[in-house]
Amino acid sequence: MYSIQGLWTAGQLRFSMTIVIRIGRYQALEDFGPKFGLTRTIGTKLPTLDFVALATGHGIDACRVERSDEAYEVLQHALAAEKVTLVEVIAA
């Protein structure tokens, strides 16, 4: 997710899509930072950001996967939904 506005737009336009977020970091910046010459990527660790709360605040269905054995069922349900659904993954 590149911005909170992305959640707002998806919710307002009622897209049929599933957003999967891995909690704890902004992985895209961590991966691309070195390609842009960054030796450190400041602000990419987000351990306390609650994406489920952010999504529901934008009118989007959201849930959290805390155990790997929950992932299949949760993702199957989210992908079958005909609306925006956010899945926050904190399981290993």
Q: CATH for 4-89, among 3.40.50.150, 3.50.50.60, 3.30.457.10, 3.40.50.970?
A: 3.40.50.970
Number of CB atoms found within 10 A of residue 82's CB: 9
Query: How large is the average pLDDT for residues 23-27?
Result: 72
Question: pTM (2 decimals)?
Answer: 0.76
Which position has the higher pLDDT, 92 or 86? Answer: 86
Residues 76-82: what's their mean pLDDT?
95
Q: Structure tokens of 33?
A: 């930072």
Ranges of each domain in the chain = 4-89
CA atoms 38, 42, 43, 46: torsion sign: positive
Give the count of alpha carbons within 13 A of 38, CB side only.
13
Query: What does pLDDT average to over the chain?
Result: 86
